[in-house]
Amino acid sequence: MVPLEAQPAFATTHWSVVRAAGTEGSAAATAALEALCRGYWPPLYAYARRRGHGPDETLDLTQEFFLRLIERRWTATADPAQGRFRSFLLGAFNHFLANERDRARSQKRGGRVRFVPLDADGAEAALGGALAAADTPETLYERRWAETLVAGVLRRLAEEYAAHPHGWENLRPFVVETRREANLLAAAARLGVTEAALRAVVHRLRRRWQELVREEVAQTVADPTEIEPELRHLITLFQG
């Protein structure tokens, strides 16, 4: 995959979303928080599964956590000084799980409206053999966090390049795979363009990839000085 390199920082953060949802209570703020939940639930699902919860129970727990996060405005007390958003989310989830252990298990959670839809089958498939590995729940959570972040960036990139003359599926391998020179030559021949022309397209594509990764990472931290350390942390997660 193309390296995660430095690009300009952005102002909007996930912290601003959760604080707005917790204090304003507007429909727009709530919708933004719901979108954030839809984007970042897989790491929490993986974490709960690694802690020994079954698929159905994990789905219920994760769903219930996000419902409470949104409905009860837990985010009103969220403090960006706590650090990275992924740490806040895991801490809140652990607090929720601890409280759930104290609740009567006879209470059925499935009757409420699920306005944060979760794809349990997809989450299980994404985990693969990770549950059998020696990773701690925390390590698995962070790996899935990194994978979820990158998947979101790839979706954004695919949308931007959907109408490109060369086609996104032809360009995608140059982002997600380590390609040799021969592959670039072969792709140029297949597309009916010169090597130099395709090389220029791939260069722009990779630069845009790096910009979007940095933008997404910037949204998960409260201070711009944390962007570089977070990028390095993501790299170690993919290399581990």
- pLDDT tens, 147-186? 889 999 999 999 999 999 999 999 999 988 765 666 889 9
Least confident of 35-44, 68-77, 196-205: 68-77
CB burial of residue 11 (10 Å; 0-12, 13-18, 19+):
exposed
Helix axes 42-50, 55-71, angle to 10 degrees: 130
Enter the tokens of residue 9.
């920082």
Q: Indicate the angle between helix axes 137-160 and 227-239, nearest 10 degrees.
A: 110
Amino acid type, 118: L
pLDDT at 220 over 60: yes
Please give the backbone phi and psi of residue 193, each rounded to the nearest 5 degrees, phi first.
-125, 170
Instruction: Give 30-70 pLDDT, tens digit per residue.
Output: 676 677 777 778 899 999 999 999 888 888 888 888 877 76
- Write the burial class of residue 38 (CB in 10 Å: 0-12 exposed, 13-18 middle, 19+ buried): middle
Mean pLDDT of 3-14: 45
- CA-to-CA distance for 129 and 6, rounded, in angstroms? 32
How far is Cα 211 from Cα 224, in angstroms, rounded to an integer?
Answer: 15
Other CB atoms within 10 A of residue 57 CB: 15
Residue 159, exposed/middle/buried by CB under 10 A (0-12, 13-18, 19+)? Answer: exposed
